[in-house]
Chains A and B, each alone.
Chain A
Amino acid sequence: MRTDQHAMIQATSLSKRYRSGHVEKVALCQVSLAIPRAEFWIVSGPSGSGKTTLLALLAGMIAPTEGEVVLDGKSITHLRDHHRALARRNLVGMVFQEFALVAGMTLAENIFLPLVPQGGPGETERQRVRALLERFGMAAYARTQVERLSAGERQRGAIIRALVADAPILMLDEPTAALDTENVRIMVDLLLSLRAEGRTIVATTHDRRLTEDPRLNGVLRLVDGRLER
C-alpha cells in the first residue's frame, strides 16, 4: 500500500457490499488508492465494475463496509450524516452521470442549489459563478430552465455547480456518456484548465476518447470491484 502524505484523495482497503435478502453482493473489494493534489485521474472499467460505487465512496455519499477515505488529510468515513454532508459540500464538487439538475429551475438556481442551506450565494459566490459562466461560454443561459439546455450545456452547468463552493476536488461520473466528440473535447479542455488551477479531478468512464488522452495523470482500471494495476 502506497502512503502519500500529500495525497488529496486517499482510500485504504475500501470495500462495499450490498445485501439483498440473504444474498450479499460485493461491489467493491479492498481498493486502495492515493491521488495527489492537482492531478486528473480516470477510473475506467466495464459497466458493473464498481466505478460509480467507488466514486460515491470517495465523495462521501455512501459509507464503506470496510476501509477509510481521507480527503485533504481529513477522514470522512467515520463522520455522521450531518458532518459528512458538510465535508461533501466543502471538499468535493460532484458532477453526476445524468447531471442531477433539478428540472423546472433555471441554470442559475441549479448552480446555487448547494449554497441554499447556508443562506444562498454571497457576493463572492456570485462573482465566481459569473466568471465561470463566462469562461464556459454559458453566460447567456443563466436564466434558462435546465431542461431547455443541450446535454453539453447541461454538463457544463453541472460542472459550474460543482465548483460553486470552490471545492478543491472535482469528481465526475461518466462525464462523456451523453456527449459527442466535439463536446468531449470542450469538456476535457475545461477540466484540464481546472487542473491547472490546482484542482484535483477524478472521473469514471469506459470511454476510450477519454482514457487514451495523453494529458491525464493516470488511469485506474476496475474489474469486478478490484483495482488492476
Chain B
Amino acid sequence: MKRQLALIRFALGSAHRRTGRTLSLAVALALVTFGYSSVLFLTEALRSEFRLAATALPDLTVQSLVAGRPALINEEQLPAIASIAGVVAVQPRVWGYYFVPAMSGNFTVVGVDTDAETVRRDLSLVMLEGKLPGASGEVVLGESLAAFLGLEITDAVTLPVGRAMKRLELVGTFRSQVALWTSDVILMNVADAREFLQVPPGQATDLAVLLSTPDEASVAARKIAELLPSARIVDRQLMSRTYDLTFDTRGGMMGGMLLSALVSFLILAWDRLTGVGPGERREIGVLKAVGWRTGDVLIARLWENTVIAVYGAVPGILAAYGYVFLARAPGLAEVLLGWSSIYPALRLTPAVDPGQFLVLLCLVVIPFVAASLIPAWRTATHDPHGLLRGAA
C-alpha cells in the first residue's frame, strides 16, 4: 500500500513533468471518449424512451399479408380470434400514412373511437390545449406538425383525398412530453380516418390483440397463425427487439466510424506519445540503475497512464452528457437519426447510471493503458546500462 502510494506520487509527478505529452494525450482521449459517449448516450436515451412506452403496447399485432406485403385485414376474422383462449380483446385499428407532396413528407394518420371513455381519458391526459375531437373533420396534431403547417387551434386545412378534398379543423395539439411519439401524428375519429386513408368498411389496417397472460403470447400467436395462415403476427418482444436493432444499426455505423478514430488514436499513442522517446528511455534507465525493478517501472507507468486516461476520459464523458442532454446533440442527432421532414423536439432522458459510467470509463481507460504499457515494458526490460548510454 505504502509502495503503491509512493509509486502513484511518482506517477503524478511524471504526468506533471511531461505536461505536453500528458495534455495532448488527455485531450485526444477526451475527444474520442466524447464521440463514443455521445452516440451511446443518445441511443440509450432513445431506447429508454421506447422501453417506457413498450408496456402499453398491445400484446400481439396481427397484419394481413397479400403478395408478401402488408394489406388491409378483414374484420371477419375478429370473432374467431376473440374466441381463442387467453385473448381478452381484439381491436381493429385504422391508421396509415398520408403523403403530402408540398412538404415531401408523410403524416401518420391515426383513427380512434373518439366516443369511447378510455380514449377520451387518454386524450385528455396527452393533449396540451384545445378540446377533445369528436365531430367529423376535427383533428389533433403533433406540435411540430402543427407548427410546420402553420396551423393554430381552430384553423382549418383542406387536403386532397382521392379526387375529393377533405377539410380538417385543428382542435388541439399533443403535449410536448409525448412529442417523440406524436410529432407527425394527425389523430381523428375512425370514420374520418377511413375516409382519409380510403379504408373500406369491414376492413382495418391491423388488429390489436390483448391477452390475459402476456407471457403466453407465443401460444396465442401460434393459434392465430393456424386461423389466418397468411397473417403476420408481431408480438411485443419482437417490436422491442426490432427497435433496439434500428438504433444498433445507426449507432453501430457511428460507432464503427469512431472505432477507426479510436484505433488510429491508439496507433498514434503507441507510436509517438507513449512510444518511449530518448528522454523517457533515459529516465527508465535511471530508475532501473538506482534499483527499480522492471515491475516497479511498469507500475509507475501504469499509474501515470491511468491517471492521464481518467483525466481525459471523464471530461469527455461529462462533455458528451452536456452535449446530448443539455444542448440536445446538435449535429449528431441529425446524423444518427437521419433526415426527416419533421423533427420532433428531442427531450431526452439520460439512461446513465454509475455502472454505465464505469463501463464507459473502462472501455477507454483499459485499452489505452494496455496499449501504452507495452512499449514501456519493452524498454524497461533492457538493462539500465544500455538505456543510460542511449544504446540497446
Give A contacts to B, CB under 8 Å.
52-53, 56, 61-63, 81-82, 85-86, 88-90, 94, 96, 98, 100-105, 109, 113-120, 161, 165
Which residues of the other chain, A, contact B286 by a CB distance below 8 angstroms?
96, 100-102, 113
Closest 10 CB pairs of A and B: A89-B291, A119-B2, A120-B6, A104-B17, A117-B296, A114-B290, A56-B385, A85-B293, A100-B286, A61-B385
Q: Is the CB of B292 within 8 A of A61?
A: no
Chain A: interface secondary structure?
Answer: helix
Chain B: interface secondary structure?
Answer: helix
Which residues of the other chain, B, contact A120 by a CB distance below 8 angstroms?
2, 5-6, 9
Offer 30 A-B interface pairs, CB within 8 angstroms, sorted by A.
A52-B389, A56-B383, A62-B383, A62-B386, A63-B383, A81-B294, A85-B288, A85-B292, A86-B293, A89-B290, A89-B291, A90-B291, A94-B289, A94-B290, A96-B286, A96-B388, A104-B18, A105-B13, A109-B13, A113-B10, A113-B287, A113-B290, A116-B10, A116-B292, A117-B6, A117-B291, A117-B296, A118-B6, A120-B6, A161-B290
Q: Does B3 contact A (CB under 8 A)?
A: yes
Whole-angstrom CA separation of A201 from B385 in the bound complex: 19
Which residues of the other chain, A, contact B293 by a CB distance below 8 angstroms?
81-82, 85-86, 117
Q: Is the CB of A119 within 8 A of B291?
A: no
Which residues of the other chain, B, contact A114 by a CB distance below 8 angstroms?
290-292
Which residues of the other chain, A, contact B296 by a CB distance below 8 angstroms?
116-117
Whole-angstrom CA separation of A113 from B288 in the bound complex: 10
Q: Is the CB of A100 within 8 A of B5?
A: no
Which residues of the other chain, A, contact B235 by a CB distance below 8 angstroms?
none
Q: Mark B373-392, 1 if CB is under 8 A from A, else 0.
A: 00000000101111011000
Task: Name which residue of chain A comes closest to B290, CB basis.
Answer: A114
Which residues of the other chain, B, contact A100 by a CB distance below 8 angstroms?
282, 285-286, 289-290, 388
Closest chain-B Cβ to A204's Cβ sits at a distance in Å of 13
Q: Does B295 contact A (CB under 8 A)?
A: yes
Which of B3, B283, B289 is within 8 Å of A117, CB to CB?
B3
Closest chain-B Cβ to A104's Cβ sits at a distance in Å of 4
Most A CB within 10 A of own CB, among B7, B286, B290, B383: B290
- Give B1-38 interface residues, CB cut-off 8 Å to A: 2-3, 5-7, 9-10, 13, 17-18
Whole-angstrom CA separation of A62 from B291 in the bound complex: 13
Which residues of the other chain, B, contact A115 by a CB distance below 8 angstroms?
6
13 other A-B residue contacts (CB within 8 Å) besides A62-B383, A85-B292, A100-B285: A56-B383, A81-B294, A102-B283, A102-B286, A103-B279, A104-B18, A113-B10, A114-B291, A116-B10, A117-B291, A117-B293, A119-B2, A119-B6
Task: Name which residue of chain A comes closest to B7, CB basis.
Answer: A116
> How many A-B contacts are there with CB distance less than 8 Å?
87
Which residues of the other chain, A, contact B9 by a CB distance below 8 angstroms?
116, 120
Task: Name which residue of chain A comes closest to B380, CB basis.
Answer: A81
Whole-angstrom CA separation of A2 from B16 in the bound complex: 52
Task: Name which residue of chain B comes closest to A109, CB basis.
Answer: B13
Q: Is the CB of B289 within 8 A of A61?
A: yes
Whole-angstrom CA separation of A114 from B292 in the bound complex: 7
Task: Name which residue of chain B comes closest to A114, CB basis.
Answer: B290
Whole-angstrom CA separation of A63 from B386 in the bound complex: 12
Task: Name which residue of chain B comes closest to A88, CB basis.
Answer: B291
Closest chain-A Cβ to B198's Cβ sits at a distance in Å of 79
Whole-angstrom CA separation of A90 from B290 in the bound complex: 10
Most B CB within 10 A of own CB, among A53, A85, A116, A120: A116
Closest chain-A Cβ to B280's Cβ sits at a distance in Å of 10
Q: Is the CB of A96 within 8 A of B13?
A: no
Task: Name which residue of chain A comes closest to B19, CB basis.
Answer: A104
Task: Name which residue of chain A comes closest to B291, CB basis.
Answer: A89
Closest chain-B Cβ to A124's Cβ sits at a distance in Å of 15
Which residues of the other chain, A, contact B300 by a CB distance below 8 angstroms?
116
Which residues of the other chain, A, contact B386 by a CB distance below 8 angstroms?
62
Whole-angstrom CA separation of A96 from B288 in the bound complex: 12
Which residues of the other chain, A, contact B389 by a CB distance below 8 angstroms?
52
Whole-angstrom CA separation of A11 from B290 in the bound complex: 21
Q: Mark B69-108, 1 if CB is under 8 A from A, else 0.
A: 0000000000000000000000000000000000000000
Whole-angstrom CA separation of A219 from B19 in the bound complex: 46
- Give B268-325 interface residues, CB cut-off 8 Å to A: 279, 282-283, 285-296, 300
Q: Is the CB of A165 within 8 A of B291?
A: yes
Closest chain-B Cβ to A16's Cβ sits at a distance in Å of 10
Which of A53, A96, A103, A117 is within 8 Å of B7, CB to CB?
A117
Most B CB within 10 A of own CB, among A62, A81, A102: A102
Q: Is the CB of B17 within 8 A of A117?
A: no
Whole-angstrom CA separation of A53 from B289 in the bound complex: 14
Whole-angstrom CA separation of A56 from B383 in the bound complex: 10
Which residues of the other chain, B, contact A118 by a CB distance below 8 angstroms?
3, 6
Closest chain-B Cβ to A90's Cβ sits at a distance in Å of 8
